[in-house]
Amino acid sequence: MKLRSKAGNRKVRHPKAGNRGFTLIEMMVVISLILILLSIAMPMYNQSIVRAKEARLHQDLKTLNEAIENYSLDKKQAPQRLEDLVPGYIKFIPDDITGRTDTWKPVQEDSQNAWDPNQQGLGGVQSGSDVISSDGATKYSDWTH
């Protein structure tokens, strides 16, 4: 009687059989699809960032101009500089769209409507940035609120 081991009846598989990977073409197709999707998404993302900054600028202009108006009504004279508004009317001077607080352009109050014609103060504030806004027609420095 001849003894055979059970291992002798098994078929031995090649180690790479069944471990098929991705081909170079498949990888290039996947990478191409990812790049196409990124090329569509990035401009939309960048535009949403710009619009968020513009919305923030609009709100900051509104806040600063309202604080100037409230200061003028309470004190019966216009503030001489933005720092006069802190801390009574605003907690801090917000950043301009440039990312700095020192670029705000003060607008002098109208001499005919000034609280004190001999000592004119701030009538408002505008952005100090001459960059064209996303509407393509106006500069940020032309925005009022």
pLDDT digit string (tens) for 55-110? 898 898 898 889 988 988 888 888 888 888 888 888 988 888 888 888 888 888 77
Distances in Å between the Cα of 64 and the Cα atoms of 28, 59, 93, 102, 137 are 53, 9, 8, 14, 24
Contacts of 70 (CB under 8 A, 6+ apart): 89
More confident residue, 134 or 50: 50
pLDDT digits (tens, 9 = 90+) for 1-59: 555 555 555 555 555 555 678 889 999 999 999 999 999 999 999 999 989 998 898 89
Strand pairing partners for 139?
Answer: 132
Question: What's the alpha-carbon Rg for the chain, to the nearest Å?
Answer: 33
pLDDT at position 41 is 93
pLDDT at position 10 is 59
Whole-angstrom distance, CA of residue 51 vs CA of residue 133:
9
Centre a 10 Å sphere on the Cβ of residue 58 and count the other Cβ atoms it contains: 16
